[in-house]
Amino acid sequence: MSDLPEYETLLLTRDGRRLTITMNSPETLNAFGAAMHREITQALAFAGSDPGSDVIVVTGAGRAFSAGGDIARMQHFVDHPDDFAEEAEGAKRLVFTLLDIEKPIIARINGPAVGLGATIALFCDVTFAADSAKIGDPHVAIGLVAGDGGAVIWPALVGFHRAKEYLMTGDILTAAQAAEIGLINHVVPSADLDDAVDAYCAKLLAGAQQAIRWTKVTMNIELKRIAHALMDPGMAYESLSVRSDDHRDRVAAFVRKGKTGPKP
């Protein structure tokens, strides 16, 4: 009998001392509905305290890492903006759960990582992307503030000017473009993605676990300081933008066009 928890939208698997969390709703490109939004934080919290693993891999099933927000959930918040308070608290829990995990977390970006999907990937410690993958945070494209972590992690990785350039337009980058500016670590052919992730995980697992963890913990002190400063105001501004006519109109336009592409 497996000692791993079971989830509606996630699949947890173990290979030796490596634990993989797979966002497992390929039919929606692993978009974040209410269940996945809740379960990803629960799964990460489990992974952080799991005595059976030393390395965590986060990835997506099917063609995408995660296409971001679920449009039906956005429609709900347009009609019931007060409900967004719970979403805001959930976003903060997710970011700080990621930052509190001492074990190294590797993002295996097998396809589009957009909006919240991009945020999760970028808060991982090392990122490997297939050359066919794309990454971006298009909150502004749907009339929302990029308050759920993007404004924290993008400047930390690529500097303020680069982060502003992309977060103020919501442009989506190819994996090669993202690697060129330092947003992600590695880009490899899709066929080589598993081998690259496996090799790096094996190197970590062969290392001194306490030294690796405490080195990460030391570096995350500064990221936590930034996150503590920015997450509350960022989510407050995003909560305001949820109530804007601009956001309402853009969500309606998405629905009218039947758009199924990347969302925040």
pLDDT tens sequence across 94-140: 999 999 999 999 999 999 999 999 999 999 999 999 999 999 999 99
CATH number at residue 131: 3.90.226.10
Lowest mean pLDDT among 73-82, 141-150, 239-248: 73-82
pLDDT higher than 70, residue 1: no
Average pLDDT over residues 236-261: 86
Tell me whether residue 133 is in a domain: yes
> Within a domain: residue 4?
no
What is the reported pLDDT for 247? 95
Predicted confidence at residue 264, as pLDDT, reads: 53
- Average the pLDDT over 235-256 and give the result: 93
Residue 263 counted as domain residue: no
Dist. CA 232–CA 127, nearest whole Å? 26
Please give the pLDDT value at position 70.
86
Query: Is there a domain that residue 3 lies in?
Result: no
In a domain, 153, yes or no: yes
| pLDDT-based confidence at residue 260 (cuts at 50, 70, 90) | very low
Contact 119, 37 (CB under 8 A): no
Is 5 domain-assigned?
Answer: no
Residue 264 within a domain: no
Q: What is the mean pLDDT of the chain?
A: 95
Instruction: Summarize the confidence of residues 5-30 as an average pLDDT.
Output: 98
pLDDT score for 71: 85
Contact call for residues 134 and 115 (beta carbons, < 8 A): no
Domain residues for the domain of 166 are 10-191+204-257
- Examine residue 113 and state whether it is found in any structural domain, yes or no: yes
pLDDT higher than 60, residue 263: no
How far apart CA 168 and CA 41 sit, in angstroms, is: 27
Residue 258 confidence class, pLDDT cut points 50, 70, 90: low
**Interval 71-86 mean pLDDT:** 90
Q: Say yes or no to pLDDT of 216 above 80.
A: yes
**DSSP-assigned beta bridge partners for residue 69:** 32
Q: What is the arithmetic mean of pLDDT over 31-54?
A: 97
pTM flag (> 0.85): yes
Average pLDDT over residues 179-203: 98
Mean local confidence (pLDDT), 29-58: 97
Cα torsion 208, 212, 214, 215: sign: positive
pLDDT of residue 72: 86
Q: How many domains does the chain have?
A: 1
Cα angle at 128 between 175 and 96, to 5 degrees?
A: 105
